[in-house]
Structure 1
């Protein structure tokens, strides 16, 4: 079945790989990025099956305009892929205010803007699916990525809520959580001057592990793109899609630890209930 996709952040990484794969199999793609000329080669090869729009997701007005243009040009868009991302690799005190704002503006506010812009069109056509590209770091954490995690944990909470609200309209939501892969994303990470106080601890350990290669990029980005397409094709798309042995391992360990800590405080949680209402039966 031929589909039409809208993908943000298509200049490199997962966005570029996914766009190429979709075009190769005959789908139509509305590819958006800050520098459209980067896709001139793909446009020449695939003609009108590739629609290209200039987009900076941190500009809400531009997001609304480009999303509307894409729907008007292509008629129907079946899948919206929120992929554009930015990260700063620094300990919490090392990053600048500007770097922090860029992470939140791109990953959280940018994703929210794309979803809000797409929903009126998806509701009108009565079907569609939004794929939010997150990461294992949307449910677990690693030193030096505090602001990236803040944006991804935030967008995952947003997407869970949206999923509940849009289900009656025939629109689905899937949070895609790829693990570490050699996409070039690491080379594009913003950094900051290193503080010796943090370099001696977990932040420094993580920095050195990435520098010496012991922080392994264990996943194949082509396989990740293929898995995303295959899951959409199968029609049974979950709320969350973990991709990668590292994602599976780290997220599961985080969830198990959180559940254990949660259960350890059960009595304290129940003790603060109002006496006149009693303890709800489902928690007794």
Structure 2
């Protein structure tokens, strides 16, 4: 634990090594919402809201490499100790790499990926609503394309922050109510996807849809979202993976995952066979997805998957 003041508080967040911090930052940097989030000089920063209080969060690796340093600025800093858990979930600090890597390494292909990228984590999200928006926007769209459109959403429905302590953080993400009501004509998405996005935003705003997961609720949250028009298994599994911290979430129809799996095993000619192949990676399929996506990104030299 470190210092606490009226407008700033810092906490040390432990984890079990190894931890590939650079890949965590790379993942966030490729998908960050400009103005709301930033990755600068080895640190992740963003605006946050908690219990009605606003502020900013900055997270970086300690020089010793054995813990993260989280600093909360603004009125929300009064809740710093309650924020430790959601921040730790966001950066996957509760993971047990030795156990995960041992299980995945029982597969020869994944063993080679794990060996190349020890300490790979599943990046989470501070805001479940933001992650849902990002995921719906990202349906059948490239990572770069989705990031561009989410940036437009912020410009149309977000809140400017003129007094931000960081010049790179000039906006707050739209509230569910604001996103449900704003005119999204010519935003760059098909009309049906706009309808889905605003339907979900309205549901979250009214309380009809809850994105808060507690122990044992993930199955119900999955059913709730899957019942909505425009929400399919890929969307729900990606949300489960990052927002609900399900370590076994598996976005089976993801094209990058399917293509890389087929390259390894040409007999995987349809989705049911891909799903059957991934059964061997339970209960850590979300980590398998991260390893496969990272292997694709390394080859392409840019963000791929998710």
TM-score w.r.t. length of structure 1? 0.27
TM-score w.r.t. length of structure 2? 0.26
Structure that is richer in helix per residue: 1
